[in-house]
Amino acid sequence: MPVALPIGPYHPALKENTYFRLEVEGERIVNADLKIGYNHRGIEWLAARRTYHQDIFLCERVCGICSNAHSTCFCQTVEDLAHIEVPDRARYLRVIVAELERLHSHFLWFGVAMHVIGFDTAFMHMWKDRETIMRMIESITGKRVNHGFNTIGGTRRDFTPSILKSIEDGVNTIEKAADRIRNTVTRDSLVRKRALDIGYLSGEDAKRISVVGPTARASAINVDIRRDDPYAAYSELDWNVIVRDGGDALARVVVRLLEIYESIRVIRQALKSLPSGPISSDISQLEFPVSEACDRVEAPRGELFYFMKSNGTNIPERVKIRTPSYMNNAALTTMLIGNSTADAPLIIASIDPCYSCTDRVAIVSAKNGEITYATMEELSRKKTH
C-alpha cells in the first residue's frame, strides 16, 4: 500500500517553493506528482499593460539566473514583430553576455548539486569561482543579475577596450575554475556514487515529454536552439553541442560541465571577431504593425519561447512566455519513479529547476492519501535499509 509523502512548499533542499507528492512503498518511489504555482506573480498580465520598453525590464525579472535570456528573447521577438534590424556589433555583444550568463548559471548549479549531497566545501569553492563571473558581468552591464543590457534594436552599453581585456582575463580564470570542477566531479568517488544511475530518463520518454536543454541532451536528444534556429551571432561562431546518452544524473553533470568549456570557446571567438559599429538601431520613428511574432533562445536550462501579439500601439496586446523549466518539471514524475527516496533531492536538482521561471501559469493536480512527512534534505541523508 503506497504511502504518500508530500514535500513542500517550504523545504530546505530546493531553493524555490514547489510541492512534490511522492508515493512511497518502503524505499522505492512508485508514483510522483508535482504541483507548481507558488511563485506565480501575474507577469503576463502585467506585460500587457506596459510599453515595450518597460516590458523589457519586467520580463527580465521573471528569473534571476537566466534574466539575460528572457531579455534577449523579448527584444528579439519585438524586433521580429516590427522588422527592426539589429547591428552586427550588438549581435556579438548579446552573444558574449548570454554565454557569460550560461557560465554563471552552470557554476551555480554545480554548487547547489554539491550542497545537496552534503559537500559544502566544494559548494563554497565553486561559488567563490562564480564570483569572478559575477564581477565581470557587473562591470560590463552594471548589475550582477537583471542586467538591463538589451534594448529593442540592440544593446544599451558598449564594451570599451579595457572591458574587452578584462573579459579575456576573466575567461582564463574561469577556465581554470572549470578544471577544478572537473577534478572534483570526476575524482571524488562519493560524487560519482551519488549520481550514477540516478534519475534515469530514457530517450523515448524525453521525446514524449519534450524536455529541453541539458536535460534532453543528457538523454541523447540532439537539440540546441543556438544551432537549430540560430539567433544573435551564433550562426557565425563555431562550437560543439554536447550530447550524452547516459540519461542519468551523472550524464547531466557531464553535459553541463562540458558546456562550460564550450561557452568559454564561444566567448573567445566572439571577442576576437567582434565587429565595430553602432550598438543599436534608431527606432525613434518606428511604428508597430498589427501582427504576431514568436522567437526562442537557448537559456541555460533549455529552450525559452516568447510569443507576442501587437495591436499597433506601443503596448503589446499579449505576451506569452514558455520557459524551459516548465517542460523539464514534467519529466520529474518519470524520473523519480523507481528510485529511492534518498536520491530524490539530487534528481530534482539535476534538472536545474527554476521555479521562478516556471510559475506564471498555475497547474493544479491534487489527490488525497495517507500522510507521513519528511524533508528532501533529510531523505537525501537517511536512506532506509
Partner 1 sequence: MVNRQTITESIRGFISPKTLAYPSQPSPPPEGFRGKPEFDSKKCVGCGACAQTCPMGAISLNDGLERSIRIWYGKCSFCGRCQDVCPELAIRLTSEYELAVFDKNKASTDIEIDFESCSSCGKKFFPAPQLERSFERMKPILEKRNISNEELRILDRVCPSCRERPEEFSKRKLFLLNFG
Partner 2 sequence: MIPSNISSVAFYILQPFFGFIVGALFYWVFRKVRARLQARRGPPWYQTFADVTKLLFKESITPLIADKTIFFLAPMLAFTGYLVVLLQLPVGNVYPPFAGDLIVILIFLTLPGVAVILGGSGSGSPYGAIGSSRETALLVASEIPFIISALVTGIQVKSMNILRIVDAQNQFGPMAFHYPLATAAFFMCMLLKLGRKPFDIPDAEVEIIAGPYTEYSGSLLGIFEISNALRWFVVPALAVNLFFAGGLANLLVFLILCLIVVVVISFLDAQNSRYRIDQAFTFLLTWATLLAVIDLVRASTGWLQW
Can you give the binding site for partner 2, defined by CB under 8 A? Answer: 10-12, 114, 117-122, 124-125, 128, 188, 190-191, 342, 372-375, 377-378, 380-383, 385
CA–CA separation, 178 vs 172, rounded Å? 10
Q: Does 27 bind partner 1 (CB under 8 A)?
A: no
Q: Which is nearer to partner 1, 50 or 318 (CB)?
A: 50
Q: Which is nearer to partner 1, 55 or 295 (CB)?
A: 55
Q: Which is nearer to partner 2, 83 or 383 (CB)?
A: 383
Which residue of 40, 41, 83, 128 would you call a contact of partner 1, by CB under 8 A? Answer: 128
Q: Which is nearer to partner 2, 101 or 129 (CB)?
A: 129
Q: Which is nearer to partner 2, 290 or 371 (CB)?
A: 371
Q: Which is nearer to partner 2, 83 or 381 (CB)?
A: 381
CA–CA separation, 87 vs 78, rounded Å? 15
Span of 177-185, 243-251, 288-296, 367-375 interacting with partner 1 by CB under 8 A:
177-185
Span of 20-28, 54-62, 262-270, 357-365 interacting with partner 1 by CB under 8 A:
54-62
Span of 37-45, 104-112, 117-125, 297-305 interacting with partner 1 by CB under 8 A:
117-125
Instruction: List the beta bridge partners of residue 29.
Output: 24
Instruction: Supply the minimum distance, in Å, between the C-beta of residue 257 and partner 2.
Output: 18
Q: Does 273 bind partner 1 (CB under 8 A)?
A: no
From partner 2, partner 1, none, interface partner of 208 (C-beta below 5 to 8 A by class) = none
Q: Which of 109, 83, 80, 100 is nearest to 149 (CA)?
A: 100
From partner 2, partner 1, none, interface partner of 183 (C-beta below 5 to 8 A by class) = partner 1
73 is written with which cell numbers? 528573447
Instruction: Supply the minimum distance, in Å, between the C-beta of residue 142 and partner 1.
Output: 4
* DSSP codes of every residue in 260-324: HHHHHHHHHHHHHTPPPS-SB---TT----S-EEEEEEEETTEEEEEEEE--SSSS-SEEEEE-H
Q: Which of 345, 365, 375 is nearest to 34 (CA)?
A: 365
CA–CA separation, 22 vs 3, rounded Å? 8
Instruction: Supply the minimum distance, in Å, between the C-beta of residue 129 and partner 1.
Output: 9
Span of 21-29, 138-146, 287-295, 332-340 interacting with partner 1 by CB under 8 A:
138-146
Q: Which is nearer to partner 1, 18 or 146 (CB)?
A: 146
CA–CA separation, 21 vs 29, rounded Å? 10
311 is written with which cell numbers? 495591436
Q: Does 281 bind partner 1 (CB under 8 A)?
A: no
Asked if 270 and 75 count as a contact pair (C-beta separation under 8 A), the reply is no
* DSSP codes of every residue in 28-64: EEEEEEEE--TT---HHHHHTTS-HHHHHHHHHTT-S
CA–CA separation, 13 vs 346, rounded Å? 9
Q: Which is nearer to partner 2, 85 or 197 (CB)?
A: 197
Angle at alpha carbon of residue 126, lines to 301 and 128, rounded to 5°:
115
Q: At what angle are helices 88-116 and 120-141 packed, to 10 degrees? A: 160
CA–CA separation, 354 vs 101, rounded Å? 15
From partner 1, partner 2, none, interface partner of 383 (C-beta below 5 to 8 A by class) = partner 2
Q: Does 114 bind partner 1 (CB under 8 A)?
A: no
Number of residues that bind partner 1 (CB under 8 A): 31
- Binding residues for partner 1 (CB under 8 A): 50-51, 53-58, 61, 121-122, 124-125, 128, 131, 135, 138-143, 146, 148, 156-157, 180, 183-184, 187-188
